[in-house]
Amino acid sequence: MYLGMMAGHHMGWGRIEEEGWRKGPWTAEEDGLLIEYVKLHGEGRWNSVARLAGLKRNGKSCRLRWVNYLRPELKRGQITPHEESIILELHARWGNRWSTIARSLPGRTDNEIKNYWRTHFKKKAKLPSDASDKAKNRFLRRKQFHNQQHQQQQQQHLQVNQEEVKRIMALLDENNDTKLPCFWPQVKQGMETISTYPHHTTDHQEQGFYYSMLNGNVSVPEASNNEDNFLWDGLWNLNDVHGNFSSTCATGKAS
């Protein structure tokens, strides 16, 4: 589906470099060859691709194409508000460590996150207020349609999760041996609140936090000391208590 879409998109300026490597946009045929190669040989050994798959691309180009575009687990479509809040929080914590941030967003690539942040936040911070408002409005308009869809998804998600959240809280309350972070009461209260009024949170960050909790992507505060890290590690590993709770947290690459 997307193969054809992209193939036609930039066609025409693919070129051969002095070493004989092709550069520029990938064709559907090249994508097909690369997919076939990974099916047969798995990821890695990218410099063998040219020889084994008959591609006139260097290893670097192949790896990039696979990682950023062809991997089947990649998510398509706009960054959701939930993902956006995670990006902001993790960027505040880690800076431009895009691959690290990407590990907390399954299906998103470092390149995607980097591009997103650059376009939406880097410049925005410097803009004068009216221009900033314009940009914001434009952005919001663009996202409106997507947000509606996302909200529908969340509604479904939350309905499913409400029961699960209650079960988890009961489980955690029962289990006195479990190390809970010091702010667990507030977290619990937040979860109870969203269980009852899932769509009435107005504060963006708070909403992001609760979405994170429900999806298992816990937002991470600025780490000021080791104790903080320890506490967050405790919360991060809630999936030890309940397997489904953190199903989207930390991809295989991260571990």
Q: How far is the CB of 37 from DNA (least distance, A)?
A: 12
Tokens of 177: 């041996």
Return the residue of 36, 52, 134, 175 that touches DNA, per CB under 7 A: 134
Q: Is 41 in the site for DNA (CB under 7 A)?
A: no
Q: In whole angstroms, how far apart are CA 117 and each of 44, 86, 109, 176? A: 28, 11, 12, 41
Q: Is 188 in the site for DNA (CB under 7 A)?
A: no
Q: Which 86-105 residues touch DNA, going by CB under 7 A?
A: 96-100
Max CA separation in the chain (angstroms):
68
* Residue 148, C-beta contacts closer than 8 angstroms, at least 6 positions apart: none
Count of residues near DNA by CB under 7 A: 45
Q: Is 171 in the site for DNA (CB under 7 A)?
A: no
Dihedral angle, C-alpha 220, 226, 228, 233, nearest 10 °: 60
* Closer Cβ to DNA, 82 or 168, answer by number: 82
DSSP lists the bridge partners of residue 15 as 23
CA distance 221 to 229: 9
Q: Which stretch binds DNA (CB under 7 A): 56-64, 180-188, 217-225, 235-243?
A: 56-64
Q: Is 71 in the site for DNA (CB under 7 A)?
A: no
Instruction: Kindly list the residues in this chain that would bind DNA in the complex (CB under 7 A).
Output: 6, 9-10, 13, 22-26, 43-47, 59-61, 63-65, 67-69, 78, 96-100, 110-112, 114-116, 118-120, 123, 134-135, 137-139, 142
